[in-house]
Amino acid sequence: MTHDGSKTPPALDPDTLRVIPLGGLGDVGRNMTCFELNGKILIVDCGVLFPEESQPGVDLILPGLDYLADRLDDVVALVLTHGHEDHIGGVPYLLRQRQDIPVYGSRLTLAFVEAKLREHRLRDAVLHTVAEGERVDVDEFGLEFFAVTHSIPDALAVVVRTSAGSVLHTGDFKMDQLPLDGRITDLRGFARAGAEGIDLVMADSTNAEVKGFTPLERDILPNLERVFAEATGKLVVACFASHVHRVQEILDLAARHGRKVCYVGRSMVRNMAVARDLGYLHVPGDILIELSQLNDYPDDRVVVVCTGSQGEPLAALSRIANRDHPVIGINPGDTVLFASSLIPGNENSVYRVVNGLTRLGARVVHRGNAFVHVSGHSASGELLYLYNIVQPGNVMPIHGEERHLVANAELAVATGVPRERAIVAHDGDVVDLRDGVAKPVGRVDASYIFVDGSTVGDVSESSLTDRRILGEEGFISIVAAVDLRKGEVVAGPDVSARGFLEAPTVFDDVTTKIAAALDAALAEGVDDEHRLQQVVRRTVGQWVSSTYRRRPMIVPVVIAV
């Protein structure tokens, strides 16, 4: 199932469909796939990945947009399956490069995208609203859209039909048979598409390791009800800013228990306003209050719905846990509910926030100690249903870490897909579909593109290594002046440090060593400032390593006078 795929892909033959995942295969985030046929490119999704602790200073991670840098004129459309950040967060960065790429998506998805584009001052985007059941022809590609249930309204799967074969891209989906909005995954449509012939299924892998079926969203309602009933103080609910169904449940419970609701977090306020305006969110009466009104009500009469369920350091919940929020504080007896899943890689950040809230006296309710969240992704039983219904010729799992992709491929094999046709690909792998057979043919670069403030792509892995060293080991600078003609040190060496044993007497020993090393080098005829700086770096590095077992960043400066 897996493959090397290290070679450069060959030129694309006519009437062969090339599939290139540029993100989302190996990570839970930055989902993006390119389909190329006869010189034209269709993109499905363009999301972001949120950074880990090992990527200090990084705000977002984009998919491999560099692959498209000299092919932008060949892009005929961008199709968005749903409105989560890991599927739409990268759209502004793509449209910055070419703003007139036609974008297709459902009503709610495009409303979320439009709000993002306004923030990025991209006002000339070409947005086309589509709905389940619609068919659209875009150049070489025929598109048909299908309703799927997910943890956000208006999610879509798409069948891409071409002269080289047909592909079902599920987007993120589950098979909740009693969804809150009554919009179920269109299994009849999938069956019809399968009967017409699906050559390749690209299916959501997130829960492929989970046995059975994802529980129903409505099954958690009694437990959410219990949290409200038992809460004696302020109730803070943390969830994704796009989880409209979950926020609807919270609004309904708040109304039943006589509590006002306050949204906190820019994305939460923006998205819920959009969802309400479009009719996807129904707000009971005058239940909503502004953040500025929060302290006008007793703690036991309010609910705060905020962002930060993944422990993001700048999100509202982290600031609350750190006593750094200007309005909201936590008192003993308050309750904090994590109404969301835990994205792999965020465990340390989340539990740091949980511990901070617990220390302040809050009762913290989360998926680990109560049944208060259900996933938006299909478990193994649902994926087996999908493969049996569609009966694809080939399968390429998407959206997941390595273990999820492998588990998904094994499910496909169990339903009769030949093992060599269940392809565990990775970001940048190139898979060609021709005559009903999908085959890996090489790789392209799909490296991480880091967004740091307003900077896109200028932060490298070596920069992050330097940041990690600075954050963990500290910084030592050494300045010395030398007279190269006389061959002597005339000033310094002066040593200063940050984040490393900053007591002034710490460097007395090494200052003498640096001066001796410089004198020795000058006596040997070294008259190059760079070489003298290397002498200083080596001397300090050896001293730090042997004395303190540390590896700080060392910046020597030798000035010739």
374 is in an annotated binding site: yes
158 is in an annotated binding site: no
Strands (E) located in 26-164? 32-37, 40-44, 60-62, 75-79, 102-105, 126-129, 135-138, 141-147, 156-162
516 is in an annotated binding site: no
**Residue 381, H or E segment:** helix 380-390
Q: DSSP letter string over 434-450?
A: ETTEEEEEEE-----EE
Rg of the Cα atoms in the chain? 28
257 is in an annotated binding site: no
Which own/partner contact pairs does 422-426 have at CB distance under 8 Å and 24+ positions apart?
422/1, 422/394, 422/395, 422/397, 423/1, 423/3, 423/394, 423/395, 423/396, 424/1, 424/2, 424/3, 424/397, 425/3, 425/5, 425/21, 425/25, 425/396, 426/5, 426/21, 426/25, 426/26
The tally of CA atoms less than 13 A away on the side-chain side of residue 421 is: 21
Q: Which one is catalytic: 45, 176, 186, 204?
A: 204
236 is in an annotated binding site: no
Q: How far apart are CA 423 and CA 397, in angstroms?
A: 7
429 is in an annotated binding site: no
Q: How far apart are CA 181 and CA 163, in angstroms?
A: 37
87 is in an annotated binding site: yes
**Residue 238, H or E segment:** strand 235-238
245 is in an annotated binding site: no
530 is in an annotated binding site: no
Helices (H), 121-160: none
Q: How far apart are CA 501 and CA 317, in angstroms?
A: 33
241 is in an annotated binding site: yes
Q: Is 44:109 a contact under the CB 8 Å cutoff?
A: no
376 is in an annotated binding site: yes
238 is in an annotated binding site: no
561 is in an annotated binding site: no
What DSSP designation does 294 have? G
375 is in an annotated binding site: yes
243 is in an annotated binding site: yes
Does the annotation mark 204 as catalytic? Answer: yes
Q: Which pair of tokens denotes residue 352?
A: 């740091």
Does the annotation mark 377 as catalytic? Answer: yes
CA 139 to chain centre: 31
133 is in an annotated binding site: no
Question: Which of 499, 561, 507 has its CA nearest to residue 536?
Answer: 507
Q: How far apart are CA 20 and CA 18, in angstroms?
A: 7
Q: Which one is catalytic: 245, 325, 366, 377?
A: 377
Q: What are the binding residues?
A: 57, 59, 82, 84, 86-87, 150, 172, 241-243, 373-377, 399, 452
Annotated binding site for Zn(2+): 82, 84, 86-87, 150, 172, 399
Binding-site residue positions for substrate: 241-243, 373-377
Please identify every residue annotated as catalytic: 204, 377
